[in-house]
Amino acid sequence: MYAAIYICYIWVVYTTAQIKRRKFKMAPHTGKFVAYFRVSTDRQGKSGLGLDAQRERVMGYLNGGKWSLIGEYTEVESGRMNERPALANAIKLCKREKATLVVATLDRLTRDLAFGAQLLNDTKVKFVCADFPEASRELLQMRMVFAEWEARKIGERTKAALGELKKKGVKLGSPTPMIGSAAGTKSIVANAYAWAEKVRPQVQEAIKLSGAVTLREIATALAARQIETRRGNTEWSPSQVKNLMARIG
């Protein structure tokens, strides 16, 4: 079985390389685009494709033509997780505005084959990978297969490595969990306050111009001005507004 998988993998790599070697003259882009960026919660610091690099690749792809980037959504989540609010909102915007979803690479969009196939089969939303825009539907499907397989193998290797460490008597996790937990909580709170301070001017202006008073009215005003939440989407709930107002005073 593994031999067949590796043969298919080699074919995908070879086909991809052959396509990229050809000199495609891409027509100038037109229409609307929505950008989606993602980093993993557990490997974002080690990723070779951080948010800045993703944005640079997407903007490099869009360079030229008469196009408009009508939205940007950022998410910190594993590519194997399908419950992603920012991605859901990006897709919703694409459908509403008949825009194209653009990602830096396919694995930034998903590492789950079923979820990727669902997107490919959705006739109401188009997506393009900036690193390989000329890829056919069939090649994208094959790459999704190996993205999922690779993610699963990484998980298996990590689990096996942790098992070996346990056998050797190595204690996993923080040696001082209470201190580690407290430090982590302190960091999260600090980041929340820093973010609140960053969006304070926009929030205050939105409240002033709209005349909003209640939490629900403020949520509507922030959404109308496309002010993003910490999760990277523009749909606000009253509880999110309450937390934000408590931080900015």
pLDDT at site 34: 93
pLDDT at site 99: 94
pLDDT at site 42: 47
| Helical (H) or strand (E) element with 238 | helix 238-248
Whether pTM > 0.85 for this model: the answer is no
pLDDT at site 45: 41
> Residue 150, SS3?
helix
pLDDT at site 223: 83
Q: Which two tokens stand for residue 173?
A: 């996790």
pLDDT at site 35: 93
**One-letter identity of residue 229:** T
Q: Is 113 exposed, middle or buried (0-12, 13-18, 19+ CB in 10 A)?
A: middle
**Mean pLDDT in order along the chain per 10 residues (249 residues):** 47 46 57 89 51 86 82 79 84 93 87 79 85 77 70 71 75 57 63 80 84 86 82 79 82
pLDDT at site 154: 67
pLDDT at site 101: 93
Residue 38 and residue 49: Cα distance in Å, rounded? Answer: 9
β-strand 100-103 against 65-76: which pairing, if any?
A: unpaired
pLDDT at site 210: 83
